[in-house]
Structure 1
Amino acid sequence: MSKKRRQRGSRTHGGGTHKNRRGAGHRGGRGAAGRAKHEFHNYGPLGKHGFKRPPDAQTDVLEVKAQKLDEDAALYVAEGLAEEDGDAYVVDARDVVDDGHEADVVKVLGGGQVRNELRVTADAFTAGAVEGIESAGGEATLSERAEVADGEPENTSDDDNNEA
């Protein structure tokens, strides 16, 4: 049976009381009427919106410029954050960056000039950083943490027992 047929004999055809379908009074006005009082169109929607990546899927990368390591090398030695080996400064990037040991990756960026011989250990280097450090007679070494991340996972399962 159609809706029209079902509504026969009903005074308001599903519209509630007899006052409801007369003009816009039932709706509180037409359009954006009443926006300063009873219909708050000027405010954005409440609640949470969008997508938030899970924290375990995020990688915390801290960056430091090779030029800054070069300029502050003597300061790092004075503070006990780096060592002096002959003419070279031995610097671990994790030690000199704020919260470096809490970060997932500490990356050395290029740009600027490196004048002193630096032996830098970090999790990642840009090509420009490696070029700048090596052009001054230093060396850029990947940390053990970076080598473990880049290497293939160890196969701890016994292949003889896992044959299907």
Structure 2
Amino acid sequence: MPKSKLKKFRGSRTCGGGTHKNRRGGGSRGGRGNAGGCKHHFVRDMMRGRTMGKHGFTRPNAREIEIVNVGELDSMASDDGRLDLGRKKVLGRGSLSRSITVTAKAFSAAAREKIEEAGGEVVVS
């Protein structure tokens, strides 16, 4: 059985690096950190899933608006027919079976029409 590298180099000053300069810095391993990801370490980084640069665009002031469809309002409303959704937007998928007063941040045209057809009221907060 061959000797392990640890035992082989135990007590050696240069660990097989010749005189004293070889195997000293980051150049002996192709750079430090993620160096060479687009050049000599391209395949290795690609297989590990690393990518260079920025990807996509993020809108700095955009906020995600939660949505609720008209079909869900029946089950959410109280017995007196009032519903306060806060900062949500109401969209027009589904239908209403009773009149409801809905308070929300925004309404689509279809949602506004369906709520008013059922005898309800739309309040924009």
TM range (shorter): 0.5 to 0.7
TM-score after normalising by structure 2: 0.56
Aligned match of 1:132: 114
Sequence identity percentage: 35
The letter of the residue matching 1:69 is L
The letter of the residue matching 1:61 is I
Q: CA offsets, 1:96-127, max 9 Å, x none?
A: xxxxxxxxx41001121101111001111011
Give the distance between the partners of 2:68 and 2:51, measured in 1 at CA. 39
- Does residue 1:46 correspond to 2:51, yes or no? yes
Give the distance between the partners of 2:58 and 2:42, measured in 1 at CA. 31
Give the distance between the partners of 1:59 and 1:72, measured in 2 at CA. 24
- Output aligned runs, 1:4-83, within 5 Å: 39-41=41-43, 42-43=46-47, 44-55=49-60, 57-73=61-77, 77=78
Aligned length: 83
- Does residue 1:111 correspond to 2:93, yes or no? yes
Aligned match of 1:91: 83
Q: CA offsets, 1:2-53, max 9 Å, x none?
A: xxxxxxxxxxxxxxxxxxxxxxxxxxxxxxxxxxxx8551424434522442
- Does residue 1:123 correspond to 2:105, yes or no? yes
Q: Is the 8 A contact 2:76 2:83 kept in 1?
A: no
TM-score after normalising by structure 1: 0.44
Give the distance between the partners of 2:108 and 2:59, measured in 1 at CA. 27
Return 5+ residue gaps in structure 1 as ranges: 1-37, 78-82, 95-104, 144-164
SS of structure 2 residue aligned to 1:120: strand
Cα RMSD of the aligned pairs, angstroms, is 2.3
Structure 2 CA distance for partners of 1:126 and 1:54, relative to 1, 3 Å: closer
Over 6 Å off, 4+ runs: none
